[in-house]
A = this chain, B = another copy of it.
Amino acid sequence: MDVAILTFDGFNEIDTFLTFNILNRIKDSKFNVKITSPSKMITSMNGVSIEGQRDIDFANNADVVLFGSGVHTREIIKDKTFLSQLSLNADKQLIAGQCSGVLFMAELGLLNGLAVSTDLSSKQRLEEIGVEVLNQPFTATGNIATAGGCLSSQYMAAWVIANKLGNAAAEYAMGRVAPTGEQEKTVAHCLSVIEAFINT
């Protein structure tokens, strides 16, 4: 399964790489997780430059599309030429966004009246455009998920794994990244956050 982590200049390093690493815990090539970006090199919100691995078209054909957050999201979503390159389909794809990544989903018409999770600064903007914002780290309806707060990346990643491969796979991946001595508690809490939102 192809997983596109959409990553733009100004991206939040936790959103992109915590998700990326957790999804890559699934071995046997079940997931093909790629940093997906509009240019070959992209620079993070704190100034680290990285190489993108796939271009935007990869997202249009991926099984899973994830929008992390970033400090330039509000400018990027005004670029209609760029946005027109994205042709996503929530009937066929899992689509999730985190913090300001939720603004992309609103702009692309993917929310359809759903209430969302996001961070404090994106909350204000989303409420201005009529989106209901919940005070919880994660929510999903069907194939559309949203999360708020950088460390909620773990919930987004676990939700993707649980939906595609089952809860046991999500528990395995989370156990591999949990703090030493806190594995059981970390896995149980993560699953408790996402369990109401797993498609069965």
Residues of A within 8 A of B (CB): 12-14, 16-18, 20-21, 24, 33, 35, 45-51, 53, 117-120, 135-138, 147-152, 154-155, 176-183, 186
Contacts and interface: CB of A to CB of B under 8 A. Distances in A.
A20 B48 contact: yes
A95 to B, nearest CB: 19
A150 B137 CA distance: 20
Query: Interface residues of A: mostly helix, strand, loop or mixed?
Result: mixed
A116 to B, nearest CB: 10
A46 B186 CA distance: 23
A151 B18 CA distance: 9
13 contacts: A13-B21, A14-B21, A16-B17, A33-B46, A50-B50, A117-B180, A148-B179, A148-B180, A149-B181, A149-B182, A150-B177, A151-B154, A152-B180
A117 B181 CA distance: 10
A19 B18 CA distance: 11
